[in-house]
Amino acid sequence: MEEFDYVIVGAGSAGAVLAHRLTEDGKAKVLLVEAGKASHPYSRLPASFGLLIDHPGANWRFLSDPEPGTGNRQIPVPRGKLLGGSSAINGLVFVRGQPLDYDTWAQMGNRGWSYDDVLPLFRRMETYESGSGEHRGTGGPLRVSVVPDQNPLYDALFAAAGHAGFRRNDDYNGRDQEGIAKTQATISRGRRMSTAFTYLKPAMQRPNLKVVTEALTLGVTLDGRRCTGIRYEQGGQVTEVRARREVLLCAGGVSSPQILELSGIGNPELLARHGIAVRHALPAVGENFRDHIAARIIWKVKVPEVSYNHRARGLRLLREVAHYLASGGGFLSLPSAPLVAFLKTRSELASPDIQLHLVPYSVKDPKRRKLQTFPSMTVACYQLRPESLGSIHIRSSDPKAQPAIRFNFLSDPIDRRTMADGFRIMRRIVESPPMDPYRAEEFSPGKEVSTDEEIIAWMRAKSETAYHPIGTCRMGPGPNAVVDERLKVHGIEGLRVADGSIMPTMASGNTNAACIMIGEKAADLVRAA
C-alpha cells in the first residue's frame, strides 16, 4: 500500500492551494486526488463560465431536490469537475467579503479567523494588478485585475446609482465594501486565473507531489478514532492509500459532507437509514447549508450597441472573437458581471446586506446561458448573508449517487424582507434619469410584479442559485459544528476539512476568494502541527 505524508481529496480552490503550500519545502510527500479531469480546452477562456455551466465533462451538474418554497423545481447546482474545481468554471468575480464576516467567525469561538487574522492570507495569495496598499497583495500566485471593458452603459449605471443615493467604491476588497464598482476578477490578460493554473501548475513540477485525476474518493479509512487514509476508484479499480500524518478533505460544500457520511461519520439515524455502519457520531455533518438565491431583472435597451445581445450575435460574434484573439478583450474576456454593487437596503445597517451584478446583456435560461435575441441588460441581486438554512446529505450508500441538496430558500423572514427590498433597489437604480437614454421596458418579471407578496412569489418560481454552497462542515465549538478552529474534525485524529463547507456563516459575496484563503489558512495550520 502506497503511503504519503498528506493525502488531499479535491483539487479545487482550497485543495490546489494546499498541494502547492505543503510541497514548497520539498520535505513532505503529498498525494492529491481529484475526481474530475485534468482540464478542459475552454477553461482558460473567461467566457467558459457560460460555456461550461451545464457541461458534463467539466461540471458535476448537481440538482437540488424539489421544494415547495421554490415552486417544486429542481434547481441546477453546477460545481467544477476539473483540476481547480469551481475556480476553473466560475464567474471569476473576486470578492473577499467584509471584515464583519471574519470577526463574526472569531466571535463564534473560532480563534485565529478574525479579519485581522485572515487579511495577511488574502494579501499573500494575490497579485492585485491595479495597485498596492495595506489591504492588497502584490506578490501572490493569484492574479486579480479590474475589468477593463468600456461601455457607455457602465457610465450611465454609475451615474444612476449615484442619483439613487449610492456611492462609488474603487476597491470593495479593502476594509470598506460599500458602493458600486468595476468588478475585480481572477483574470489576467484575458485569461482565467484558476487555482489549477496559479497554484497547482507550478507545484506539479515538484517530485514530492503526485496528482491523480478521474479518481472518485469512496471514503476515508479509520482505525478507531484516527483517520489513516482514503479509498478511491479509478478506471474501475479501487485503491487504498495511507496518510502518515493527515488526510485533508477539500471536496467542497456539496461533496465533503457526502464523503464523511459515506465513511460512517455523521448523523447515526441517517447513516443507519442507508445501511452505513456508524464509525463516529457527528450530527452536524451536512447541516447549516447556505447559498445565495439570485433574483434577476431584465430590461430591454434602446441603444443596441451597448448590449452584447446585439454585439455578440451572428456575424458580430466573429468580430468579438477577433477582438479577443488580438487583445484579450471584449465579450469573451468578461467575468459574469463587469459591474458590482454592495449596498444597504436600510440606512441604519452597519454594512451592506445585498450585492448587485450589473450585466450588459441577458440570457434566456441561466442553465444554458444562451443570449436573448433582443438588445437588453440584466441586474441581479442576492442577500449577502442569508439566514435560511438547508442541508446536503447522501441519498444512498452509492458514492456515485448525487446527494440530496435542500436549499430551504426564503424560509427566514429576514431573507424575504431583504430580497424584496433589494429587488426595489434594482428598479430604483435602473429607473433613475441617467438611464433614460438607454432603458426601455422591463422585460422580466414586468412592472405588474410590485407588492412584496408578488415579488417573493416570483422569486420562488423563477430565481436560481448564485452557486455559493457553504457551511455543511461548519467550523466551531460544540455539537452544532463539524470541525474546530484548526479545521480538525471533532473527535477524529488525522482528518481536517478545508473548503467552503467549513464557513460557519456566509462570507459577504462570491465565495471563491474566501475558499482560496481557507486553503492558505489550512496550510499554515497543518505546517504548525
Helices (H), 391-502: 413-430, 452-462
CB-based contact 31:6 (threshold 8 Å): yes
468 carries an active-site annotation = yes
In terms of Cβ atoms closer than 10 Å to its own Cβ (0-12, 13-18, 19+), residue 191 is middle
Name the burial class of residue 369, with classes exposed (0-12), middle (13-18) and buried (19+) by CB atoms within 10 angstroms of its CB: middle
- Whole-angstrom Cα distance, residue 418 to residue 421? 5
β-strand partners of 245 = none
Asked if 403 and 395 touch (Cβ cutoff 8 Å), the reply is yes
Q: What is the Cα–Cα distance from 180 to 51, expressed in whole angstroms?
A: 27
CB within 8 Å of 473: residues ≥ 6 apart: 249, 256, 257, 260, 285, 482, 483, 489, 497, 499, 501, 502
Contact 239, 231 (CB under 8 A): yes
In contact, 158 and 180? CB cutoff 8 Å? yes
Residue 225 main-chain phi, psi, to 5 deg: -100, 20
Q: How many CA atoms lie within 13 A of 152 on its CB side?
A: 12
Round to whole Å and give the CA distance between 123 and 119: 6
User: 154: how many CB neighbours lie within 10 A of its CB?
Assistant: 18
Catalytic choice (292, 357, 468, 490): 468
The helix (run of H) or strand (run of E) holding residue 120 is: helix 115-125
- Nine-digit cell at 11? 483539487
Cell numbers of 201, please? 501548475
d(CA 306, CA 117): 43
Q: Which are the catalytic amino acids?
A: 468
